[in-house]
């Protein structure tokens, strides 16, 4: 079956052929002249309108079809329309160009606002950080103001120096008519109201290299006390005891070592000072922290402490700095903690007052004010780690011990003094 358009074209062709052949010769010649190839209406297309045009001519007897070229008014009108079409096309193209330009401007404006929004977000984040820092500074200022508002006590045998950079009072040990002064500087540790202070003592189960003797973690209450800013020096020991037992020499500000717990008892008698309790020592070491070290989770052998800081140390990844000096260093050579106290980590082991008791932290006595272990073994406690030890030995909570009569070139001390 033929398609409709194909049938229509065939029909139109048949009609045109029949119609033209039916015309008189003269007329047929005129039609052929004006409408070559069957284009009887002269529109340049061969379609059904040509058949209609011719049929009207045949049946109505009208004039012979003429081509558009024979009608100048139509040609002129067509030219006008073409000109108008050209003008409108040009105007449309111009409008399209303007629209494209406006779209580009809009995209630029959107990008500009997006950039400003990003900058605004950044500024808001910076403002929040600044506000948080301001709040922190205000809190620290309040603490310092509270400390300043509390009168500094006059302590026999000590001269008040001032407030250190960390905001804690400092005193120099000058002695009395009966007691020898050491010239060592001490830091006063107390609560914000001038009374007792509190801290968390011991290490959690998750702390690497931690032993069972370091727990459980418990809150300790301490009365105000003084503790030396540095380890006891060779100069101070020689001024009091008249001799220097140290193995490492060359500078009077090196820490005194090769002294036993028993030796220090005589030093205490002559100066009015005493060894810190284990709780006092750890409180001073931590500087308000609960991390393995006063400086955080790691210890730097270049800037923070003198210890065996090579990368081949223990498995806890505590070491930073990759340095090992192989001897003691002058006190105060490394950064202080948040209390302004130096060398609590490394350099030399420091004797404490307590008898070593591996389970003391779990006893009721550990929760009393100013706890001190007075039984549990025949040993005395050592704290702080040593120049020849790994970082894990230098942790704030690490506990060691030895016989009170034992002298070793890594054993020294840091004097303290409770307030009357």
Burial (CB < 10 A; 0-12, 13-18, 19+), residue 162, is exposed
Compute CA distances 313 → 14, 109, 292, 296, whole Å.
109, 59, 16, 18
Q: What does the pLDDT look like over 4-13, one tens digit per residue?
A: 444 555 555 5
Taking a C-beta distance cutoff of 8 angstroms, is the pair 207, 401 a contact? no
pLDDT classification of 131: cutoffs 50, 70, 90: confident
Mean pLDDT of 344-348: 98
For a pLDDT cut of 70, what percent of the chain falls above it? 79
Mean pLDDT of 49-58: 62
In this predicted structure, which of 69-83, 86-100, 107-121, 213-227 has the lowest mean pLDDT?
69-83
Alpha-carbon distance of 168 to 188, in angstroms, equals 7
CA dihedral 159, 163, 166, 168 (to 10 degrees): 60
Alpha-carbon distance of 135 to 112, in angstroms, equals 34
pLDDT at position 262: 98
Compute CA distances 230 → 57, 76, 82, 170, 249, whole Å.
128, 112, 103, 12, 17
Taking a C-beta distance cutoff of 8 angstroms, is the pair 352, 371 a contact? no
pLDDT at position 36: 45
Mean pLDDT of 2-22: 52
Mean pLDDT of 63-85: 67
pLDDT at position 143: 63
CB half-sphere exposure, 277, CA atoms < 13 A: 20
For a pLDDT cut of 90, what percent of the chain falls above it? 60
pLDDT exceeds 80 at position 389: yes
Report domain extents, the chain: 4-70, 88-149, 158-418
Residue 348 is given by DSSP the state: S
Which is higher by pLDDT, 122 or 191? 191
Compute CA distances 181 → 2, 170, 241, 400, 420, whole Å.
128, 15, 12, 30, 18
pLDDT exceeds 90 at position 45: no
Whether the ω angle into residue 216 lies within 30 degrees of 0, i.e. cis, is yes
The average confidence (pLDDT) of the chain is 86
pLDDT at position 82: 78
pLDDT exceeds 60 at position 147: no
In this predicted structure, which of 35-39, 189-193, 306-310, 365-369 has the lowest mean pLDDT?
35-39
Buried-state track 186-195, b at ≥16 Cβ within 10 A, e below 16: bbbbbbeebe
In this predicted structure, which of 18-27, 207-216, 335-344, 388-397 has the lowest mean pLDDT?
18-27
Which is higher by pLDDT, 228 or 47? 228
Which is higher by pLDDT, 278 or 119? 278
pLDDT exceeds 50 at position 165: yes
DSSP for 164-180, written as a single string: -TTS-EEEEE-B-SSSB
pLDDT at position 3: 46
Which is higher by pLDDT, 131 or 306? 306
In this predicted structure, which of 97-111, 250-264, 317-331, 350-364 has the lowest mean pLDDT?
97-111
Buried-state track 114-138, b at ≥16 Cβ within 10 A, e below 16: eeeeeeeeeeeeeeeeeeeeeeeee
Compute CA distances 35 → 40, 53, 385, whole Å.
4, 11, 118
CATH number belonging to domain 158-418: 3.90.1580.10
Taking a C-beta distance cutoff of 8 angstroms, is the pair 262, 405 a contact? yes
pLDDT exceeds 80 at position 151: no
pLDDT at position 318: 95
pLDDT exceeds 80 at position 14: no
Which is higher by pLDDT, 293 or 120? 293
pLDDT at position 125: 83
Mean pLDDT of 113-124: 78
Alpha-carbon distance of 271 to 179, in angstroms, equals 5
pLDDT exceeds 50 at position 34: no
DSSP for 69-111, written as a single string: GG-HHHHHHHHHHHHHHHHHHHHHHHHHHHHHHHHHHHHHHHH
Residue 234 contacts by C-beta under 8 Å, 6 or more apart in sequence?
A: 244, 246, 249, 251, 252, 253, 254, 255, 256
Alpha-carbon distance of 297 to 183, in angstroms, equals 34
pLDDT classification of 84: cutoffs 50, 70, 90: confident
The tokens describing 36, both together, are 């070559």
pLDDT classification of 118: cutoffs 50, 70, 90: confident
CB half-sphere exposure, 137, CA atoms < 13 A: 6
The tokens describing 319, both together, are 């070491």
Taking a C-beta distance cutoff of 8 angstroms, is the pair 386, 348 a contact? yes
* CA-wise closest residue to 245 among 235, 260, 257, 262: 257
In three-state secondary structure terms, 189 is strand
pLDDT at position 228: 98
Q: What does the pLDDT look like over 252-309, one tens digit per residue?
A: 999 999 999 999 999 999 999 999 999 999 999 999 999 999 999 999 999 999 999 9
């Amino acid at each position: 079956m033929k398609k409709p358009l194909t049938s229509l074209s065939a029909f139109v062709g048949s009609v045109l052929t029949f119609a033209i052949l039916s015309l008189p010769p003269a007329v047929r010649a005129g039609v052929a002249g004006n409408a070559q190839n069957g284009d009887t209406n002269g529109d340049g297309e061969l379609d059904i309108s040509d058949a209609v045009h011719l049929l009207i001519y045949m049946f109505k007897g009208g004039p012979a079809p003429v081509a558009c070229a024979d009608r100048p008014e139509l040609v002129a009108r067509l030219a006008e329309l073409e000109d108008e079409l050209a003008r409108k096309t040009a105007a449309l193209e111009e409008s399209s160009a303007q629209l494209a330009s406006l779209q580009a401007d809009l995209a630029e404006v959107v990008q500009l606002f997006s950039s400003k929004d990003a900058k605004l977000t950044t500024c808001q984040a910076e403002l929040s950080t600044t506000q948080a820092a301001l709040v922190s500074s205000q809190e620290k200022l309040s603490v310092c103001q509270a400390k300043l508002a509390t009168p500094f006590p006059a302590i026999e045998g000590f001269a008040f120096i001032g407030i250190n950079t960390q905001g804690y009072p400092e005193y120099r040990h000058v002695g009395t008519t009966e007691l020898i002064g050491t010239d060592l500087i001490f830091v006063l540790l107390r609560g914000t109201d001038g009374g007792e202070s509190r801290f968390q003592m011991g290490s959690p189960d998750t702390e690497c290299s931690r032993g069972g003797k370091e727990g459980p973690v418990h809150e300790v209450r301490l009365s105000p006390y003084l503790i030396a800013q540095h380890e006891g020096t060779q100069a101070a020991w020689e001024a009091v005891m008249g001799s220097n037992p140290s193995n490492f020499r060359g500078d009077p500000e090196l820490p005194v070592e090769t002294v036993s717990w028993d030796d220090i008892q005589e030093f205490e008698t002559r100066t009015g000072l005493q060894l810190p309790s284990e709780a006092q020592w750890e409180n001073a070491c931590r500087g308000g922290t609960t991390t393995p070290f006063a400086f955080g989770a790691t210890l730097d052998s270049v800037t923070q402490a003198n210890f065996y800081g090579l990368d081949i140390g223990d498995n806890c990844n505590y070491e930073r700095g990759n340095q090992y000096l192989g001897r003691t260093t002058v006190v105060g050579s490394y950064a202080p903690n948040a209390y302004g106290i130096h060398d609590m980590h490394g350099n030399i082991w420091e004797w404490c007052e307590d008898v070593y008791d591996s389970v003391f932290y779990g006893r009721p006595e550990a929760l009393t004010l100013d706890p001190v272990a007075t039984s549990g073994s025949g040993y005395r406690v050592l704290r702080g780690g040593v120049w020849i030890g790994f970082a894990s030995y230098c942790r704030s909570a690490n506990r060691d011990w030895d016989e009170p009569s034992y002298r070793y070139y890594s054993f020294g001390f840091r004097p303290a003094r409770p307030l009357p």
